[in-house]
Amino acid sequence: MEKNSIDGPAEQALFAGEAWFDPIEAGLRGRIRGLIEELVEQELEAALGRGRYERAGGAVGHRHGHRRRQLTGSFGPVELAVPRARIRAEDGSTREWRSAVLPRYARRTRQLEALIAGAYLAGTNTRRVQRALGALFRGAVGKDVVSRAWRKVKTDWEAWSQRDLGGEDIVRLVLDGTVVRVRLDRKATSISLLVVLGVRRDGQKVLLAIRAMGGESEAAWRAVLDDLVARGLRAPEFLIIDGAAGLEKALAALWPAVPVQRCTVHKHRNLLAHAPERLHEEISADYTDMIYAETAKEIETRRKTFLRKWRLKCRAVADSLEEAGEALFAFTRLPSSQWKSARTTNAIERLHEEFKRRIKTQTVLPSAETAAMLFWALLASGQISMRKVDGWQSLDQPPAKSSIDLAA
C-alpha cells in the first residue's frame, strides 16, 4: 500500500476542519465517480451479454459482488465500487473478469501520471513535486509515486522513440524546429528541438519524431530523417517546411521527387525584412492578395504583377520572392480544399506555442533529453490535442506534376 506523504503541518492544515470543505469539488468528484462506475458497468454488461438485473439466457458468466478501489486523477481522489464477475470459457472453465476501462492495478489516471512526470521533467525534484501535488490530491501522491511515474514515462518515451513506423500510412510531413534553453555542463544553453509531424491518409495528425539537437544543420535533420526511414517510414507525398536551408538540403538528398512547400507565413516575414517599415503594409496587402487567390491561374497572374511592381519599387523584395521559387506555390499542386492546411507550417507552430506556454515559468529546462520528453509527454497524455487537417477528405488524390508557371 502506498504511503501518504503529507508530512508538514501546512499540508495537513489543508484538510482539517469544515472550513476547507468545498461543495463544488465534492459534487464534481461525485459525478466523476458515477461516470467511471457507469463505464465499468457497461463494459461488464457487454462481457456477460446481459444487464445487471436481467435473467436472459445465453449469459457467459455471473457477478459476485464489488470491491472498493481508489483512483486519483486530475479531478482528485475518488473511491469506486468496482463490480466483480466470473466469465465462463468454451471449455466450461471460469476466470475472473478484468476491466479494460479500469485496469487491475491502476491507481492513477494517465493524465495525472503525465502531470507528475511533467513537473519532474520541468526541473522540479521528487520531494518538491510530492509536496506540491500531495496537498492538491489529498495525500495520494507520495515520493514513491513520483519516482514510479517518472520511470514509467521514461520507459514509454523510449518505446515510442523506437517504435516501428512501417504500418503508418503517412501522406504528408510537416517539419520544423524550435529553440529552448536547457542546462548543459551547468550552463544555460540554447538548443533546437527538431519536430516531425505526420498526416495520415485519414487526415489525422500524429507526432512522428522529436529530437534534441545543437541546431538545424543538414546533418542534424538528416539524422532525424534517417532514423524515421530506418524504422519503416515510407516516402510521403508532400512536405511542408519553414525554409531552413539545412532542412531543405536534407530533404532534397533523401526524397528529391517529393514536392516541398515553403511556409507562406515565414516567407511573408522574409519579404518585410527586406523593405523599410513604411512599405510593410503595402507589401503585405499585395502578398496576401497573391497567396490567397482562389485559383492557381489567379495566383500565377498576381505573382507576375507582384514581381513587376516590386522590382521597380524595392528590388530586394522581388528578389526574395523569386528566391523561394516553386516551393512557395507547391500547395497549388493539391486540390484547393487542402490549400489552407498545406500553405503553412501552422500545424506544428501551434504545438511549439503550446509547449512554450506550458514551460514559460521554467526559464531553463534541466537537460536536452528531458526537453524532448516533456514535449512528447504533453501530447501523449492528451494535454495537447491535434485535430484532422482541413481538406482531409481529398488526401487520397496525389499532387499534380507541376504547380504554376514561374515565367515572369
Domain ranges of the chain: 9-52+60-158, 170-393
**DSSP for residue 57:** T
Buried b (16+ CB within 10 A) or exposed e, 256-275: eebbbbbbbebbbebbbebb
pLDDT for 141 equals 52
pLDDT for 131 equals 52
Single-letter residue type at 211: R
pLDDT for 4 equals 43
Helix (H, G, I), strand (E, B) or coil at 34: helix
pLDDT for 16 equals 46
What is the CA 342 to chain-centroid distance, rounded?
Answer: 18
Q: Are 157 and 377 in contact (CB under 8 A)?
A: yes
pLDDT for 143 equals 58
Distance CA 112, CA 256 (A): 44
Strand 170-184 relative to strand 238-241: parallel, antiparallel, unpaired?
parallel
How many contiguous H segments (helices) and E segments (strands) does the chain have?
Answer: 14, 8
pLDDT for 26 equals 66
**DSSP for residue 100:** S
- Find the helix or strand (DSSP H, E) in which 267 lies: helix 264-273
Cα–Cα distances in angstroms (integers) from residue 285 to residues 281, 288, 343, in the given order = 6, 5, 17
pLDDT for 40 equals 82
Torsion of CA 45, 51, 54, 57, to 10 degrees: -40
Residues of the chain with pLDDT under 70: 1-29, 52-59, 73-76, 105, 107-108, 110-150, 408
pLDDT for 393 equals 94
Distance CA 121, CA 212 (A): 14
Cell 517546411, residue?
A: 241
What angle is formed at CA 366 by the lines to CA 363 and CA 369, rounded to 5 degrees?
A: 120
Q: Are 193 and 348 in contact (CB under 8 A)?
A: no
Q: Are 236 and 171 in contact (CB under 8 A)?
A: yes
Q: Are 6 and 134 in contact (CB under 8 A)?
A: yes
Q: Where are the alpha helices (DSSP H) in 178-256?
A: 218-230, 245-254
Phi and psi torsions of 194, nearest 5°: -95, 120
Determine how many CB atoms are found less than 10 A away from the CB of residue 100.
8
> In terms of Cα–Cα distance, which of 114, 357, 355 is closest to 212?
355
> In terms of Cα–Cα distance, which of 215, 269, 271, 268 is closest to 245?
215
Distance CA 268, CA 320 (A): 10
Q: Where are the alpha helices (DSSP H) in 276-391?
A: 280-291, 296-313, 315-324, 339-342, 346-358, 368-380
What angle is formed at CA 213 by the lines to CA 354 and CA 174, rounded to 5 degrees?
A: 50
Determine how many CB atoms are found less than 10 A away from the CB of residue 336.
13
Cell 510530492, residue?
A: 130
Distance CA 107, CA 88 (A): 28
What angle is formed at CA 324 by the lines to CA 320 and CA 327, rounded to 5 degrees?
A: 160
